[in-house]
Structure 1
C-alpha cells in the first residue's frame, strides 16, 4: 500500500486511522502540531501552515482528519495550505472526513466543513469524501456536561445517530487503499435516539440524578436538526456498534 499522511493523526479518529492503515500494510505518517514529534509522526500546523509542505513531501495519499474549534483557521485555511502542498508534491489521492447533513445547515462549523469539501473537490486532486454522523464520544461529552447540573438543559426535539469512531476509521482506511470515488456513501450508527434519551441513558449508567430541561434550538439550525438532517438518508450505510452498546462497554467496564 502507498505512503499515507494522516492529518490530526494523534487525535481520537486519527490515531485509529493510523492503526487501521498499518493493518493494511501502509507506511503511515501522523501529523501533529507538536514541534518535537515522536517516531512515525511529523510536525505540522494547519492553523499557520508551519511544516505542512515538509509533512506532505513523499506521500502518495492523505487522509485529512484534522479539525479544531477554531474551525475557520484549521478546516478552511488549513485545508488550503494542505492542498497547495499536495498539488506541489503530486499527491495521488486525498480522503476527507466530513459530517452528514451539512449542506443546508447554517451552523458555522458545518459550513466550514462544507467549504473544506468544496476546496478539496475543486482542487484537481483525485479525492474521496466520507460523511459520518456524530461520534459516540461527542454525544457522551454533551451528556456528561449537562448531567453535572441539577437541571440539565437538553436540545428539544433533536435526534442523533451516533457512530463508532473505530468503524469510521476502518472505512477511511479502506477508502484510502482504493481508488478515488468522489463522494462515498454516508455512514452512521445503528441506533437513532433523541438527545433526551441519550442524556437519560448516560445519566443512568453513571448514576447521576438530575431533571431535564428541554431547550428549543432556534433558527434554521434548529429547523435542520429537528428535520433530521443530521441523520443517515436512505442511501447511507449503518456501521459499528450502537450508542447503548457503547455506553455499556466503554463506561461500565
Structure 2
C-alpha cells in the first residue's frame, strides 16, 4: 500500500519506516522541508502542502508531535488540518500514535494528545489510536538529567512499563497493515517497574557511584503515577526488557 508517515524523522519514525518498507509498502515521509529519500513536504502548523503530501495515501501513520513546543497547535490543530486534507476516497487506515495514560495523567501535553484523539474519533475516518508506553531511550535520558552528582533522586512509588522503540515500531507497522480498530488499543513493555528499581538498574550500568534516593512526590501527578495511570491495561507487549536495553545501548548523552 501507499503509506504516508508524519513525524518520520523522529525517534519512532526513523525506526518505523524500515518496518513498513520490509512489509512491502511504498512509504513517503512527510516533514516541513520534505528532504531525504521518500521525503514529501507538508506542514501541520500552517497546512501548507498537506493536500499534496496526503494525495493518494492509502494508509497514514500519524506520529508527528511537539511535546517541547506547542502541542495544542501541532498535535491538536495539526491533526484537525490533517483530517481535513486527507484523501477520503483513497484512505483505508489512519493510525495515530498516542500515549498510555493520556486520559489519566494530569499533564498539559497529555491533555493535548487526548484532544487530538477526540478529533480523530469524530472524523468518521477509518482509524486506530495506538497508545504506547514511554520508550526506554526516554527513560534513559530522564534519569541522566535527574542525576545530581552522587545522588539520583527519583519519585517514590511511581510505576512504569517502558518499551523498546523498535518493538513499538514493529507493532505499529503490523497495525498499519491490518484493518482499522475504530478505537483505542494499547502497547507496552514486557515488565512493570517502580521508578526506583528502574533507576537502580540504570545506575548500575551508567553511574555505578550514584546512589538512588526515592523521594515523595505530592499532588495529582504523583498520585496518578503511583496508582498505575501510566501502565497499559490491555493490548500487546514488547519483548526487549529494560535490562537488555541497558546492556546493549550506549547512553543517549
The correspondence of residues 191-230 of structure 1 with structure 2, limited to 5 A, is 191-230=191-230
The alignment partner of 2:163 has SS state of coil
Residue in 2 that maps onto 1:157: 157
The alignment partner of 1:166 has SS state of helix
Q: Is contact 1:57–1:89 with CA below 8 Å preserved after alignment? A: no
The alignment partner of 2:8 has SS state of coil
- TM-score normalised over the length of structure 2: 0.91
**1:148/1:56 Cα in 2 relative to 1: closer, same or farther (>3 Å)?**
farther
Let me know the Cα RMSD of the aligned residues: 1.9
The correspondence of residues 36-185 of structure 1 with structure 2, limited to 5 A, is 37-68=35-66, 69-70=68-69, 71-86=71-86, 90-147=90-147, 149-183=149-183, 185=185
Pick which of 208-217 and 223-232 moved more.
208-217
The alignment partner of 1:137 has SS state of helix
- TM-score normalised over the length of structure 1: 0.91
TM-superposed deviation, 1:52: 1.9
TM-superposed deviation, 1:49: 2.3
Size of the aligned set, in residue pairs, is 249
Q: Gaps (5+ residues) in structure 2?
A: none
Separation in 1, partners of 2:4, 2:119: 19
TM-superposed deviation, 1:36: 5.2
TM-superposed deviation, 1:240: 2.3
The alignment partner of 1:182 has SS state of coil
Moved over 6 A (4+): none
Deviations for 1:9-63, whole angstroms, at most 9, x for unmatched residues? 1111111211111011100001123x25122011222233232222111211100
Separation in 1, partners of 2:218, 2:53: 42
**1:28/1:148 Cα in 2 relative to 1: closer, same or farther (>3 Å)?**
farther
Residue in 2 that maps onto 1:28: 27
